[in-house]
Chains A and B, each alone.
Chain A
Amino acid sequence: MNVEQAASFAFTPENEAEADKAVARYPEGRQASAVLALLDIAQRQCGGWLPRVAMDHVAERLSMAPIRVYEVVTFYEMYYDRPRGTHEVRVCTTTPCWLRGSADLVKTCEAELGIRVGETTEDGQYSLSEFECLGACVNAPIVWIDDDYYEDLDPEKLKAVLDAFKRGEAPKPGSQSGRQTSAPAPGLTTLTAKTAKEAR
């Protein structure tokens, strides 16, 4: 790996407490089960990726062979073993989102960020990737940025979201079409009556 690696890693005191909590969820002798949680904590602490020392630290802490941790990290798409941008932009391109225009969203991202899928902007602010089903098809198409889903997007709305990020704002996550969570898009179709009597 031609990646600049950190020399050492240790959890911050707060994260150490978090890690303890995660490990305590599993019965004695099954500490290795906490590997996903610990890797997530470590990745957040390291700025969105896992240097090798961090993986080794997790392995040692859970009494696992380091290779077992490397396997986990490389298996899951959400762990990164090399540096990423400050913001992770992930576009869902699985069938429901694709039917709802995710291909255009990929193009919008590429145009707005000036990078291709799989790349990171030169200023280190944004990484762009395609993801398989994010499991929110009812609000397709979806773009997942950092820890939040931005839903019901079209190229303009996505551009607005990205612009907000660029201005340093935190745009409101969830549906961008104004509907409440996944309520019917054209407005209420049932239970529209004000009173029970009216409904009858």
Chain B
Amino acid sequence: MPKLKIDGKEIEVPAGLNVLQACELAGVEIPRFCYHERLSVAGNCRMCLVELKPGPPKPAASCAMPVAEGQEVFTNTPMVRKAREGVMEFLLINHPLDCPICDQGGECDLQDQSMAYGVGRSRFDENKRAVKDKDLGPLVETHMTRCIHCTRCIRFSTEVAGVEEMGATGRGEHMEVGTYIEKCLTSELSANIIDLCPVGALTSKPYAFAARPWELARTETVDVMDAVGSNIRVDTRGTAVMRVLPVLNEDINEEWISDKTRYACDGLRRQRLDTPFVRRDGALSPANWDEAFAAIVSRLRGMDGAKIAAIAGDLADAEAMCALKDLMEGLGSPNVDCRQDGAALGGGARSGWLFNTTIAGIENADAVLIVGSDPRREAPIINARIRKRWLRGGFKAGVVGPNIDLTYSTEHLGAGPQTLKEIADGSHPFCGTLKAAEKPMIVVGQGALARADGAAVLAAARKIAEDCGAVTDDWNGFNVLHRAAARVGGLELGLLPGMGGRDVASILDGASKGEIDAVYLLGADEIPMERLGKAFVIYQGHHGDAGAHRADVILPGAAYTEKNATYVNTEGRAQRGRRAVFPPGEAREDWTILRALSDPLGCKLPYDDIFALRRRMAGISPVFDEIGLAVPAEWGAFGTAGAMDDASFATPIANFYMTDPVSRASETMAACSRAVLGLGREATGTDG
């Protein structure tokens, strides 16, 4: 632990830090543009110059200077001030003076640091350089004349995203940051370069000229586009969600979010259900709440509980699911399921459905076996963590399932259960790799579990975990990677078929055969609606998607930005989402709808406010009392050993950009599907 003096103040810092980090520990702010704690050191902006003793009589770049014993750092001497002024003047030489029309205005590092450390005038009389803007796709808008060549975007796409597409072409005065060939960025994390850009060179295309940062109200909440539970900040103006930004959480998303998390929010303004609907004479027509409730009560009252079923969708919050479970209990129905995709999860030990290693724990692993999962599309943030671990070296990854580029080198072991069987009985060579690893991980995806033989696959994965020493007292390397934000919450609450109850497949069977007469869909859109037969369908949700089209009664609910709600991520970490705006029109928070409906149905739910409901949830699972913590799970029995099908594991995500009602309604996500994946219709002349 070297001791050094910073501006006369003595401080002891861990070895291996650089002077900039040491200054930060000492509470001294060092201006910087190119340095970023999660990227490699480039040292090319020169803004972090400080004076060092001992050392040559000139300023040194603190980001690239390791700390040393007995060093003296001066950050406020005339030399340092003059150096910063000089660097600032140079950086501004080619930077246009277009702050009034720049989207970065108000949250621009260059603006702020120019105010704090610049001289406020320029001696440059020649022509400024102009650079042609690049087309990087539907998400990132470029104004390359504003670029100060910090290379953060290049380093991000090369290091963190693992998709080497950006670079610096040309040299000196002619250097340009871009992709050289015109192409759109294909990384699922590409838009993070907008946050990284310290100037207005890379800005958000969908948010272009939409708002100024000081007009926005900020709400920190949780994302639901995947099961990672990324921490986000929702910026709103009036009733509109203007943009979504990441919030730092070292345990989950660090400071990144996926492009879907960031840009699906424009889907919140389209296709919304803002009033109840009742189907009359075959057509849905707007109604008020009383009419909608009356329509439901007239059908459900007196109906045999065994003929009623409920399915919770992928975006449902825990409060609503808890209320749904209690309502179905009140109606005497055991037919409840939260696993739309039919994954063989739940019913066994809690560790059998969690990402037990935790996301931060990935960094301690030294081998991973990925079974039937495409983490790059199912959970880009988790994939980035695995890549971060892989970059450090000494890490082996094997894949059973589709052979996909995951941005790190993987060994493709096989396509389906046959390979899994070989690994489970120890005859596959990768078994040796896992056994040799100190902390091996197994990641089982929904592509392997959402099949008829899912329980057998789960059991085989469990056997591998146990045989390879992936589960010890201080390490649990068995992981299930979910892709729905609601799923773990539903499993924790026990939204599973009760005694003699039906699961999703059986509910659909029953409905098509006429054995199920009423189905309550809580935001469930990803089931084959045509199989609901003649059943009376109540759809509660926020978007006019598949479920609403089939429904007989629609109850408008709130989207994730519009309710105070709890979500449990794939690690089993309960987090609270906060309301950023009110739901549109007549829409209400979901649990209140269920609570209100329970009264006329004659089984009034015993909670009148969200606190009572949350006490009820905590009574079911203590996870809901430990907000923000990944509660570790005991190792126990789960899965059912049995024969496995020969069919290969399929990837459950065909289109990363459209996986749920919100992203399917989003224009930006549609543009990405077209531009990046080449999906959907061709653009026509009226597309603008």
Interface residue ranges, A against B (CB under 8 Å): 1, 52, 65-68, 70-71, 74-76
Distance between B628 CB and nearest chain A CB, rounded to angstroms: 38
Which residue of chain B has its CB nearest to the CB of A77?
Answer: B171
Within 8 A of A (CB), among B424-440: none
How many angstroms between the C-alpha atoms of A70 and B180 in the bound complex? 7
Pair A75/B170 contact, Cβ less than 8 Å:
yes
Pair A74/B164 contact, Cβ less than 8 Å:
no
Chain A residues whose C-beta falls within 8 Å of the C-beta of B169 in the assembled complex: 70-71, 74-75
B283: Cβ under 8 A from any A Cβ? no
- Provide a sorted-by-A list of 18 A–B residue pairs whose CB atoms are within 8 angstroms: A1-B181, A52-B181, A65-B164, A66-B181, A67-B165, A67-B166, A67-B167, A67-B180, A70-B167, A70-B169, A70-B181, A71-B167, A71-B168, A71-B169, A74-B170, A75-B169, A75-B170, A76-B171
Within 8 A of A (CB), among B157-181: 158, 164-171, 179-181
How many angstroms between the C-alpha atoms of A125 and B216 in the bound complex? 62
Chain B residues whose C-beta falls within 8 Å of the C-beta of A1 in the assembled complex: 181
Chain A residues whose C-beta falls within 8 Å of the C-beta of B158 in the assembled complex: 65
Pair A68/B164 contact, Cβ less than 8 Å:
yes
Task: Give the top 10 A-B pairs by smallest Cβ distance, nearest first.
Answer: A65-B164, A67-B167, A74-B169, A70-B180, A71-B167, A75-B171, A74-B170, A67-B164, A71-B169, A70-B169
Distance between A54 CB and nearest chain B CB, rounded to angstroms: 13
Distance between A133 CB and nearest chain B CB, rounded to angstroms: 15
How many angstroms between the C-alpha atoms of A67 and B170 in the bound complex? 12
Chain B residues whose C-beta falls within 8 Å of the C-beta of A70 in the assembled complex: 167, 169, 180-181
Chain A residues whose C-beta falls within 8 Å of the C-beta of B167 in the assembled complex: 67-68, 70-71
Interface residue ranges, B against A (CB under 8 Å): 158, 164-171, 179-181
> Looking at chain A's contact residues, is the secondary structure mostly helix, strand, loop, or mixed?
helix
How many angstroms between the C-alpha atoms of A70 and B171 in the bound complex? 12
Which residue of chain B has its CB nearest to the CB of A75?
Answer: B171
Distance between A77 CB and nearest chain B CB, rounded to angstroms: 8
Chain B residues whose C-beta falls within 8 Å of the C-beta of A76 in the assembled complex: 171
Which residue of chain A has its CB nearest to the CB of B163?
Answer: A65
Distance between A170 CB and nearest chain B CB, rounded to angstroms: 32
How many angstroms between the C-alpha atoms of A59 and B300 in the bound complex? 66
Q: Which of A52, A67, A74, A75 contacts B179 (CB 8 A)?
A: A67
Which residue of chain A has its CB nearest to the CB of B182?
Answer: A1
Pair B171/A74 contact, Cβ less than 8 Å:
yes
How many angstroms between the C-alpha atoms of A68 and B158 in the bound complex? 10
Distance between A39 CB and nearest chain B CB, rounded to angstroms: 14
How many angstroms between the C-alpha atoms of A194 and B181 in the bound complex? 66
How many angstroms between the C-alpha atoms of A70 and B169 in the bound complex? 7
How many angstroms between the C-alpha atoms of A65 and B166 in the bound complex? 10
Distance between B288 CB and nearest chain A CB, rounded to angstroms: 58
Which residue of chain B has its CB nearest to the CB of A73?
Answer: B169
Chain B residues whose C-beta falls within 8 Å of the C-beta of A74 in the assembled complex: 169-171, 180
Which residue of chain B has its CB nearest to the CB of A71?
Answer: B167
Distance between A76 CB and nearest chain B CB, rounded to angstroms: 8
Which residue of chain A has its CB nearest to the CB of B168?
Answer: A71
How many angstroms between the C-alpha atoms of A77 and B580 in the bound complex? 54
Further pairs besides A66-B181, A67-B180, A74-B169: 11, Cβ < 8 Å: A52-B181, A65-B165, A67-B165, A67-B167, A68-B167, A70-B167, A71-B169, A74-B170, A74-B171, A75-B169, A75-B171
Distance between B351 CB and nearest chain A CB, rounded to angstroms: 39
How many angstroms between the C-alpha atoms of A160 and B180 in the bound complex? 41
How many angstroms between the C-alpha atoms of A68 and B155 in the bound complex? 12
How many angstroms between the C-alpha atoms of A70 and B178 in the bound complex? 11
Distance between A113 CB and nearest chain B CB, rounded to angstroms: 24
Distance between B132 CB and nearest chain A CB, rounded to angstroms: 12
Which residue of chain A has its CB nearest to the CB of B157?
Answer: A67
How many angstroms between the C-alpha atoms of A75 and B167 in the bound complex? 11
Chain B residues whose C-beta falls within 8 Å of the C-beta of A66 in the assembled complex: 181
Distance between B208 CB and nearest chain A CB, rounded to angstroms: 26
Chain A residues whose C-beta falls within 8 Å of the C-beta of B170 in the assembled complex: 74-75
How many angstroms between the C-alpha atoms of A71 and B168 in the bound complex? 6
How many angstroms between the C-alpha atoms of A76 and B179 in the bound complex? 17
How many angstroms between the C-alpha atoms of A108 and B110 in the bound complex? 47
How many angstroms between the C-alpha atoms of A65 and B170 in the bound complex? 17
Which residue of chain B has its CB nearest to the CB of A1?
Answer: B181
Chain A residues whose C-beta falls within 8 Å of the C-beta of B171 in the assembled complex: 74-76
Distance between A59 CB and nearest chain B CB, rounded to angstroms: 10
Chain A residues whose C-beta falls within 8 Å of the C-beta of B180 in the assembled complex: 67, 70-71, 74
Chain B residues whose C-beta falls within 8 Å of the C-beta of A65 in the assembled complex: 158, 164-165
How many angstroms between the C-alpha atoms of A65 and B164 in the bound complex? 6
How many angstroms between the C-alpha atoms of A1 and B182 in the bound complex? 9
How many angstroms between the C-alpha atoms of A67 and B163 in the bound complex? 11
Chain A residues whose C-beta falls within 8 Å of the C-beta of B181 in the assembled complex: 1, 52, 66, 70
Distance between B90 CB and nearest chain A CB, rounded to angstroms: 21
